[in-house]
Amino acid sequence: MTQKVKSVLILGGTTEATALIKSLSNNRQVKIILSLAGATKTPILPEHIMVRIGGFGGIEGLSQWLIQHAIDILIDATHPFAAQITHNAWQAAQKTKTAFLRINRPAWQACESDCWHPVANMAQAAQALGENPLRVFLTIGRKDIFPFKECPIRHEYWIRSVDRPPEVLLPVNAKTIQARGPFDEASEIQFLQTHHIDRLVTKNSGGQATIAKLIAARKLGIPVVMVQRPETESMPMVQTWLEAFEWLFKH
């Protein structure tokens, strides 16, 4: 008896989504559709895979999309800080009775020699820089930088993101760097030293692609303001794309 080909929608924008799609690209048991938010101007798109770009229109829009496209399995492989789409995906999956799995990579953990200052959000991160002007390396993406513009202390910023942040969000003393990971330790050390960086501000994204800056900060004794992950509700979850791959074929 021939097995039914399963339609799988993967919510992406991460290295996990890319790796999972690559591992499935020649598999005839599944038909993969990748969904991207459209947040990055020039996304790296997989070959030979159907890709849709843009929001669905909340839980209702996503639920309808799942039904209209006869999706059997929904995999949320979005970034750990993309809390809205994860909430929507889990709700829509329950509503439409679509099999669901979230890939949530483990958070980075500080080791003894790290000097991390954990904060709950970007406003707290800006406050945590203190009263004296510092030279700050911001690696928080381009959308969340406004609290640093509002900060009354004139820190100097180096802001690294894939796309340049909108001008209106930029603090006065900001230089922008457009770059896409992965980054290596030697170049991160060189960057921190060249610009005499006093503080690194980052989200606790986890993963290997951008961990080098934390190792570099540790080696140079630079304190890190670490924005903690948003809370998410309990849902079916794994930590790696490989676990998701194995789960897919048990379904």
The footprint of ligand NAP on this chain (CB under 6 A) covers a number of residues equal to 24
Q: Which of 8, 11, 75, 227 binds ligand NAP (CB under 6 A)?
A: 11
Minimum CB separation of residue 161 from ligand NAP in Å reads 10
Shorter beta-carbon distance to ligand NAP: residue 62 or 145 = 62
DSSP per-residue letters across 40-88: SSS--PPTTSEEEES---HHHHHHHHHHHTT-SEEEE---TT-HHHHHH
Q: Read off φ and ψ for residue 13, nearest 5 degrees.
A: 105, 15
Q: Which of 7, 8, 13, 216 binds ligand NAP (CB under 6 A)?
A: 13
Shorter beta-carbon distance to ligand NAP: residue 54 or 221 = 54
Q: Which of 8, 12, 18, 122 binds ligand NAP (CB under 6 A)?
A: 12
Minimum CB separation of residue 165 from ligand NAP in Å reads 13
Nearest Cα residue to 23 out of 249, 241, 247: 241
Q: Which residue has the tokens 């009775």?
A: 97
**Which residues are paired to 199 by β-bridges?**
136
Minimum CB separation of residue 15 from ligand NAP in Å reads 9
Site for ligand NAP in 29-48 (CB under 6 A): 35-37, 39
Task: Give yes or no for a contact between 158 and 133, defined as CB atoms under 8 angstroms apart.
Answer: no
Site for ligand NAP in 189-208 (CB under 6 A): 203
Q: Residues 47-86: x/- map of binding to ligand NAP (CB under 6 A)?
A: --------xxxx--xx---------------xx-xxxxx-
Task: Give yes or no for a contact between 159 and 145, defined as CB atoms under 8 angstroms apart.
Answer: yes
Q: Which residue is nearest to ligand NAP (CB)?
A: 55
Minimum CB separation of residue 167 from ligand NAP in Å reads 19
Site for ligand NAP in 122-161 (CB under 6 A): 141
Minimum CB separation of residue 144 from ligand NAP in Å reads 8
DSSP per-residue letters across 210-227: TTHHHHHHHHHT--EEEE
Minimum CB separation of residue 141 from ligand NAP in Å reads 5
Residue 122 CB contacts under 8 Å (≥ 6 apart), including other chains: 140, 144, 145, 146, 147, 148, 227
Task: Give yes or no for a contact between 147 and 122, defined as CB atoms under 8 angstroms apart.
Answer: yes
Site for ligand NAP in 87-106 (CB under 6 A): 88
Shorter beta-carbon distance to ligand NAP: residue 198 or 214 = 214
Minimum CB separation of residue 84 from ligand NAP in Å reads 3
Residue 15 token pair: 């290295």
Q: Which residues bind ligand NAP (CB under 6 A)?
A: 11-14, 35-37, 39, 55-58, 61-62, 78-79, 81-85, 88, 141, 203
